[in-house]
Amino acid sequence: MVANSKESETVTGASAVTGLPQKRFYRQRAHSNPIADHSFNYPARPEDVDWRSLYPSMGDDQQVQFADIGCGYGGFLVTLGEMFPEKLAIGMEIRVKVSDYVIDRIAALRLKNANEKTTYQNIACIRTNAMKYLPNYFQKSQLEKMFFLYPDPHFKRAKHKWRIINQALLSEYAYVLRKGGLVYTMTDVEDLHTWIVSHMTQHPLFERLSDEEANADPITPKLYQSSEEGAKVVRNKGEHFLAIFRRI
């Protein structure tokens, strides 16, 4: 696996003011076909993942515990790194330029905050297809939290099989989640929300959190606009549909 860290380099396309990469240099289509045969390098098994190349400061007994699936431009991933400095979080993104942006963004944040309390050494991003290769990266019961924020709704009925929450994949998510682990879902498409709730509640290894439990979670307020997609929904005065599920 190739190391994504670029702390010693100047990030291409970085702003002269902030030192952070600018999205206009990383534009890409909003959607990607997850069933297509993209070219990916992926490990044969979780033991083959070189996590230390992604987290140079990780301890010998540390494991990645948070996974932001389809992390987009990394806004929520950065928030996770700030909220949980002792936890390792990985962003998984299928689009080339978008994952490049997140990797460069993290490198720039590490460089900029090297002497600060929050150094962003606990977050990283890889380009991969989580719908195909998730068990290649994570061991059984490894993850504490998984996030599916504003996933592609794939509106056409023929493409519903491409939705990242579907009955065929839920058992894989249950496999990599520890007992009591949480799956966070957020969308601005009510039809997709209904689909997610229906499939998750039908699965024997997941139960939905009550509204009271969801609202008490300190992560919940961050789900609405920490990500770039969430912030866009807020700007456009759109609706948010939240559902959180527990691995049982």
Task: Determine whether 100 is an active site residue.
Answer: no
Instruction: Give dist(CA 36, CA 68) in Å, integer.
Output: 21
Q: Is 247 helix (H, G, I), strand (E, B) or coil?
A: strand
Q: Is 7 flagged in the annotation as binding?
A: no
Question: Which of 100, 152, 211, 217 is flagged as catalytic?
Answer: 152
What is the per-residue pLDDT for 229? Answer: 78
- Residue 224 identity: Y
Q: Is 57 flagged in the annotation as binding?
A: no
Q: Is 190 flagged in the annotation as binding?
A: no
Q: Is 207 flagged in the annotation as binding?
A: no
Task: Tell me the pLDDT band of 6, cut-offs 50, 70 and 90.
Answer: very low
Q: Is 69 flagged in the annotation as binding?
A: no
The tens digit of pLDDT for each residue in 94-106 reads 999 999 999 999 9
**Angle at 221 (CA atoms; ends 81, 177), nearest 5 degrees:** 60
Greater pLDDT, 161 or 50: 50
Residues 6+ apart with CB under 8 A from 134: 92, 172, 173, 176
State both tokens at 216: 């008490």
Task: Tell me the pLDDT band of 9, cut-offs 50, 70 and 90.
Answer: very low
The residues pairing with 91 across neighbouring beta strands, listed in sequence order, are 68, 125
CATH class for the domain made up of 63-247: alpha beta
The residues pairing with 101 across neighbouring beta strands, listed in sequence order, are none
For residue 144, pLDDT beyond 80: yes
The tens digit of pLDDT for each residue in 204-232 reads 999 999 999 999 999 999 999 878 778 88
The percentage of the chain sitting over the pLDDT mark of 90, rounded to a whole number, equals: 70
Q: Is 14 flagged in the annotation as binding?
A: no
Domain ranges of the chain: 63-247
What is the per-residue pLDDT for 8? Answer: 43
The residues pairing with 242 across neighbouring beta strands, listed in sequence order, are 186
Q: Residue 146: which of 201, 46, 77, 207 has the closest Cα? A: 77
**Angle at 154 (CA atoms; ends 151, 155), nearest 5 degrees:** 125
Instruction: Give dist(CA 218, CA 79) in Å, integer.
Output: 12
Instruction: Give dist(CA 143, CA 135) in Å, integer.
Output: 11
